[in-house]
Chain A
Amino acid sequence: MDYLLAESGIDRIKHAINVICEPAPFFVLSCVALGVFLIGYRFWTKPVVAAIFGGGAVLFYALSALDPNFFLIIAKPDNVPISIMMLLVGFFTWLAFRQAAINDERLEKGEPLLEAGADDKVLVWPDLVYTEFIALILCTAFLIVWAIYLRAPLEQPADPSVAPNPAKAPWYFLGLQELLVYFDPWIAGVLLPGLIILGLVALPYIDKNPRGNGYYTFKERWFVITTYMFGWVVLWVVLIVFGTFLRGPNWIFFGPYEFWDAHKLAALLNIQFRDIFWIKALGRGLPGHWLVREAPGLAFIGFWFTGLPFLLAWTVMRKIYRQIGFIRYVIAVQLLLWMFLVPLKMAFRWTINLQYFVAITEFFFNI
């Protein structure tokens, strides 16, 4: 019977990939990949290097589609746009950083930019109008082919008494739904989306760096671009991919080559910050009043949002503070700290199973 149970080489590889795709390694590796890309952007965007890695990624994806469980998920009609998005995000990130690499090199040598030649004007008819026209035709053709070969999904008629498992929001909100693993709905579903919008609106008023206006560059704006790419690629795109492809019934993690078994169990033993402080560290019971009970968590969150800004302004962000001034700094740093509360909370969950820093369940105030 042994030969029936023995794993083939391909099974071992699939199993290894399933393990790598678990939330913690998946997220950490995404961050590392982004970091490595940004640090060595001049190397990674060289056409040959990019073609090898891009082609390799597409090949890997195509080969993965041979796995029935993986194919089942990516072939869902409403998941097809996500595969297209991944391809396009990869391509356009390369295109942008390739031009940034060329421009940065030219700036160092004192040569004119790719976008130079402000007086070099062409007529809109025909140069722009024709480009637009061709783009429209290609786009239309693409849509028609897509519509012919892939039917829009239509499931059983709506039935309030039969909840599907998993019940998922539209794919573009799945990054936020994934955050529900780590935060309560008032943060993941209301506060964070609001702060994303607010942060985007505030961006041009916070970023006082006059360079890099109207051309691709990374060197001249590395801090802003790194922050934005972390938010966009890791916290938005990667979490959407994760929430769509790797979250199955009961929102439990399933590896890409794993069957979505509704009976899979995930051991969950979450603890609160207050338990660590009062019970584990001090060895006593929880205080009765919520304010005293949650004081350690509140102190930590309080320090994160009020103490840390001072500390940062005094140390690593000193230069930025001087550049943008008090009001802009306060807004920028609050937005940044909210953004980085997300990976911080994730790290605490993965390492010590922390559920809440502050858990005032009496009036739904859990952080």
Chain B
Amino acid sequence: MIKWIREGQVWNSIFRHGIPRDRRTRAMAVLSNVFLHLHPVAVRKSGIRLSFTWCMGGLTFFLFLVEIVTGVLLMFYYRPVVEYAYNDIQAMRSGVVSMGLLREIHRWAAHAMIIAIWLHMLRVFLTGSYKPPREFNWTVGVILLVLTMLLSFTGYLLPWDQLAMWAITVGSNMARATPLAGHEGPGASFLVIDGVPLIHAGSDARFQLLAGTFVGPNALLRFYVLHCVFIPVVVTVLIAVHFWRIRKDGGISGPL
């Protein structure tokens, strides 16, 4: 029976090689698979030692995938409107929604992703892997690190509880002190045309961030879109660049 399936047209149209048992089929397994071909066919033995890489970059990526899967599922049950947001989370929590653990996994994976990406950066730094020819990929990585934290920050508001609202209030209050662009930032008071200030509480950086002068309905919607669409798309594109450049810059780093 198994033999019949393996020799049939359906099986062979999906898998273009035999079971990966020898060098040739093992190479084919990586080459002919769109996901696995992120990898080269062969890598340096010392480069994939767990004590060298800590697997932290890979885990960061895996946690990102976990966030996407759980996040998309959560979007079915969550409405980014002040009247509903809190109750929707409450419903998830009390298990009205069948998959009661979704929100927990989403939140803890987010925290884990932040820790993993910090440790990934530490590993890359301590092995000197940012040095030529990998300088640019390090830069991409730094941007991904910042975006990861922004993803977590924008997601923090969505439960719309006291913890969320006030954490975002504290965080976004910083924006009003932006030099020149915040109404309590140095230099902003010089930006005046005919006695009318350009930068005030209703026009400064914080206002642009929150779409209002306080964390309200507009901020919730804005953070929702940033969290679910805008930042994930940018992150996905940059991850593609990041992985592509690993290959192009010579694979996992090692002594020259």
Q: A115-B52, A120-B45, A154-B159 are in contact. Are A143 and B128 (CB under 8 A)?
A: no
A215 (CB) vs chain B CBs: closest residue: B255
Q: Please tell me if A117 contacts chain B, counting CB pairs below 8 Å.
A: yes
Q: Please tell me if A168 contacts chain B, counting CB pairs below 8 Å.
A: yes
Q: Please tell me if A139 contacts chain B, counting CB pairs below 8 Å.
A: yes
- Taken residue by residue from 190 to 203, chain A's Cβ proximity to chain B (1 for < 8 Å, 0 otherwise) reads as 11000001001101
Determine if B131 and A186 form an interchain contact, defined as CB atoms under 8 angstroms apart: no
Determine if B179 and A115 form an interchain contact, defined as CB atoms under 8 angstroms apart: no
Q: A207-B131, A213-B255 are in contact. Are A186 and B104 (CB under 8 A)?
A: no
- Contact partner of B44 (CB less than 8 A), chosen from A118, A170, A186, A221, is A118
| Chain B contacts for A160, CB-based, 8 A | 165, 214-216
Residues of B in contact, count (CB < 8 Å):
103
Question: In the complex, A170 Cα to B150 Cα: how many Å?
Answer: 11
Q: A139-B59, A139-B62, A232-B122 are in contact. Are A95 and B54 (CB under 8 A)?
A: yes
Determine if A95 and B55 form an interchain contact, defined as CB atoms under 8 angstroms apart: no
- Taken residue by residue from 146 to 162, chain A's Cβ proximity to chain B (1 for < 8 Å, 0 otherwise) reads as 11101111111111101
Determine if B44 and A152 form an interchain contact, defined as CB atoms under 8 angstroms apart: no
B178 (CB) vs chain A CBs: closest residue: A190
Determine if B153 and A173 form an interchain contact, defined as CB atoms under 8 angstroms apart: yes
| Chain A contacts for B27, CB-based, 8 A | 123, 125
Determine if A100 and B169 form an interchain contact, defined as CB atoms under 8 angstroms apart: no
Q: How far in angstroms is the closest Cβ of chain B from A345?
A: 17
Question: In the complex, A129 Cα to B33 Cα: how many Å?
Answer: 12
| Chain A contacts for B115, CB-based, 8 A | 81, 84-85, 88
Determine if B186 and A147 form an interchain contact, defined as CB atoms under 8 angstroms apart: no
B157 (CB) vs chain A CBs: closest residue: A158
Question: In the complex, A197 Cα to B90 Cα: how many Å?
Answer: 37
Question: In the complex, A364 Cα to B204 Cα: how many Å?
Answer: 15
- Contact partner of B114 (CB less than 8 A), chosen from A116, A117, A132, A172, is A172
Question: In the complex, A184 Cα to B179 Cα: how many Å?
Answer: 11
Determine if A152 and B123 form an interchain contact, defined as CB atoms under 8 angstroms apart: no
| Chain A contacts for B210, CB-based, 8 A | none
Question: In the complex, A204 Cα to B136 Cα: how many Å?
Answer: 8
| Chain A contacts for B162, CB-based, 8 A | 155-159, 162, 164
B20 (CB) vs chain A CBs: closest residue: A125
Question: Max chain A CB contacts within 10 Å: which of B27, B119, B161, B186?
Answer: B186
Question: In the complex, A170 Cα to B20 Cα: how many Å?
Answer: 46
Q: Please tell me if A99 contacts chain B, counting CB pairs below 8 Å.
A: yes
Question: In the complex, A184 Cα to B176 Cα: how many Å?
Answer: 11
| Chain B contacts for A164, CB-based, 8 A | 162-163, 166
Q: Please tell me if B211 contacts chain A, counting CB pairs below 8 Å.
A: no
| Chain A contacts for B109, CB-based, 8 A | 143
Q: Please tell me if B156 contacts chain A, counting CB pairs below 8 Å.
A: yes
Q: Please tell me if B103 contacts chain A, counting CB pairs below 8 Å.
A: yes
Q: Please tell me if A55 contacts chain B, counting CB pairs below 8 Å.
A: no
Determine if B179 and A186 form an interchain contact, defined as CB atoms under 8 angstroms apart: yes
Stretch binding the partner chain, chosen from B1-9, B35-43, B225-233: B35-43
A112 (CB) vs chain B CBs: closest residue: B255
Q: Please tell me if B111 contacts chain A, counting CB pairs below 8 Å.
A: yes
Q: Please tell me if A216 contacts chain B, counting CB pairs below 8 Å.
A: yes
| Chain B contacts for A173, CB-based, 8 A | 149, 153, 171
Determine if A135 and B58 form an interchain contact, defined as CB atoms under 8 angstroms apart: yes
9 chain-A/chain-B pairs, Cβ below 8 angstroms: A115-B46, A118-B254, A121-B42, A125-B20, A135-B58, A147-B105, A157-B161, A160-B214, A365-B187
Starting from the known contacts A114-B46, A154-B93, A158-B82, 11 additional A-B residue pairs (CB-CB under 8 Å) come to A92-B119, A96-B127, A115-B46, A129-B36, A143-B109, A170-B153, A172-B149, A201-B138, A204-B139, A214-B255, A366-B186
- Interface residues of A, Cβ cutoff 8 Å to B: 78, 81, 84-85, 88-89, 92-93, 95-96, 99-100, 113-118, 120-129, 131-132, 135-136, 139-140, 143-144, 146-148, 150-160, 162-164, 167-170, 172-173, 176-177, 184-186, 188-191, 197, 200-201, 203-205, 207, 209-217, 221, 225, 228, 232, 360, 363-366
- Interface residues of B, Cβ cutoff 8 Å to A: 20, 23, 26-27, 29-30, 36, 39-48, 50-52, 54-55, 58-59, 62-63, 66, 82, 86, 89-90, 93, 101, 103-109, 111-112, 114-115, 118-119, 121-123, 125-132, 134-135, 138-139, 142-143, 145-146, 149, 152-153, 156, 159-167, 169-171, 173-179, 182, 184-190, 214-216, 253-256
